[in-house]
Chains A and B, each alone.
Chain A
Amino acid sequence: MGPEITTLETTTVEIIRPGMMTTIQDRGRLGYRSDGVVVAGAMDEWSLRIANLLVGNLFSQQGNPAALEFFLVGPTIDFHQDTSFAIYGGCWNATLDSQRIQCGKAYSAGPGQRLEILEATEGAWGYLAIHGGIDVPEILGSRSTHIRSAMGGFHGRALKAGDRIAAVMNGSMLIPNANFLRRYIPWNDSVYGGSQRSSPTSTIRFVNGSQWEMLDARSQEFFTSSKWIISKNSDRMGYRLQSPIDSSTPQASNSPRLQLKSPFEMLSEPNTIGTIQLPSGGDPIILMSDAATTGGYPRLGHVAHVDLPRLAQQRPGTAIGLQAISLAQAHQLSIERQRLWQRLVFGVRQYLSNDARVASSKNL
């Protein structure tokens, strides 16, 4: 049987070592927030998309392919059937049968082959996409895992050694198998539309929230001029920010860095992924994919949708800067991001439309 036949059937992979926080994620569970159902979904949805694109799984209005997501340390898996896979999001030391492989590129793998994804050398969240997409039951329209409510993914939990998961050709593939193996998309800041040169501190853009004006002037200034450290206490639910000044000036750490003009106890309101909330302790928390649907802490702002993937990739302990932008600017960035996506899809389509021509071409 040729690979074309095999990929029409189920292909199975087995988890040998699970890595860290390895779960099945797609773009998230939309449409049920009014029941309090958390969106979940990939922390870096952009990298999830590209990982899937690299193996021909198309994101569209209908297509929402799932992949494995892992944090800082990737999983080791055995393949039991012929398939193709790609790793994207961050840079990872990875081997296929002990041969070093690249991230950002699709590979073929067959029965008995072992893929080891070790530690991330850059970034925090990685995605392993498999041709056809990970096949687990859709719960409320999504395959994303939300561990706290034990919903979706593989029995609502992180993957463990011995778990067998399947990928299935579902007919919504962009590209036939075996034709996409030469496409290489390196992972760096430019893939998020930023500059090629990475700056030591990533600037995350946000639009003002309802309670921004309730911050006193000193706090507003501090919020956007200070560097903020992503706390080790951060997870899929939220990234906690700490001011680096806390450790150097112990006497100042008694008073919060950010203060409202007057104490404010608010009724709970709907959240967004990216909402920057301010608990009374004074250190802001940016809500991430597993964010509660509603919350009652004052909202200083909301991270621009396009910057959520970049923010997710900042490791605990690294510093970020925060920059206020207008809503119009945020929407313009979304439009630019969509154009970038269209170019990536076009690049892959064009690349594959004439395999022989493309094989000899170096300018793609």
Chain B
Amino acid sequence: MSDDPFMIQACSIESLGDQALLVRFGDEPTRECFDRIHAYDQAVHRLSIPGVIESVPAYTSLAVYYEPLVIDKFALRQALLEIKLSDAALRVADSGRELIVPVCYDQEFGEDLAYVAEVHHLTTEEVVAIHTAARYFVHMIGFLPGFPYLGGLSTRIATPRKKSPRTRVVAGSVGIAGTQTGVYPIDSPGGWQIIGRSPWKFFDSSAATPCRIRAGDTVKFNAITRNEFRIIEKELMVCNGA
């Protein structure tokens, strides 16, 4: 044993189909959990195990995708179990930025805002006030290109997903699903309760950094009027040369 390494080991490793393993780090998406997952993810990258295709960090877990014709599941599992992280490795580079994201919560954009308000016996204004008051930590990017999963939603407006997903949610839509909130970066089907829309472009595959928001960032929403929405939208279109 070297000088007191903080032994961080996965809580459990299970299969995610026949081409991925899922390493679980706990049940709660805490900041500590985030740091452990990302430190572990970096360790997986450093190992560059032949047959490992990629790894995807999530709230409380990390998926490691592999090619079973190259690496045996048991060998991979063993390699993952042997990863131990020191205290230093746990101090993930503090690169998180603070972003203020403009959102218009008008009925026109927030199709489910009234529903969310009704469920919680609140006015729509109260839901907006609660949603804009918090600072949200970006736990992960996933689901769609550039989609940020934000933690820190008030339980006062936490609302289950829609029973049947919508076939189309417009890019920029801000939604709630359970205790999660997030922004749809592109048009997509989706099951989140939509409460507003941002004029920002959150994903651009031609940009040097396609994702506007990164895991580790902190996001705050700022309520804007429909008029302000149109102005920002127009400015962005000019910037993109459209």
Q: Which residues of A contact B (CB under 8 A)?
A: 30-38, 139-140, 148-152, 156, 207, 209-210, 233, 237, 265, 267-270, 272, 274-275, 279-281, 292-297, 302-305, 327, 330-331, 334-335, 338
Contacts and interface: CB of A to CB of B under 8 A. Distances in A.
Interface residues of B, number: 53
15 contacts: A33-B65, A34-B55, A36-B203, A149-B186, A156-B205, A210-B16, A268-B149, A272-B19, A272-B65, A279-B164, A294-B56, A295-B143, A327-B18, A331-B73, A335-B69
Given A36-B185, A152-B205, A210-B14, 14 more contacts: A33-B56, A33-B65, A33-B142, A34-B141, A149-B145, A149-B185, A265-B178, A268-B58, A268-B143, A269-B59, A272-B20, A296-B180, A303-B17, A304-B18
B83 to A, nearest CB: 17
A156 B187 CA distance: 14
Contact of B188 (A148, A280, A296): A148
B59 A305 contact: no
Contact of A270 (B142, B144, B211): B142
B163 A207 contact: no
A140 B207 CA distance: 11
B15 A327 contact: yes
A280 B73 contact: no
A296 B161 contact: yes
B5 interface: no
Nearest to A303: B17
B146 A305 contact: no
A349 B17 CA distance: 34
A297 B164 CA distance: 11
B17 A334 contact: no
Contacts of B172: none
A334 B59 CA distance: 30
Contacts of A302: 16-18
A36 B141 contact: yes
Interface in B55-103: 55-63, 65, 68-69, 73
B205 A150 contact: yes
A345 to B, nearest CB: 15
B177 interface: yes
B111 to A, nearest CB: 19
Given A36-B211, A272-B20, A267 B144 contact: no
A145 to B, nearest CB: 11
Contact of A30 (B15, B54, B164): B54
Contacts of A38: 144-145
Contacts of A335: 69
A335 B17 CA distance: 16
A222 B188 CA distance: 31
B22 interface: yes
Contact of B22 (A34, A210, A281, A331): A210
Chain A CB within 10 A, most for which of B16, B57, B60: B16
B19 to A, nearest CB: 6
A305 B53 CA distance: 15
Contact of A280 (B53, B54, B161, B187): B161
Contacts of B167: 233
B140 A294 contact: yes
Nearest to B164: A281
Contacts of B152: none
B205 A140 contact: yes
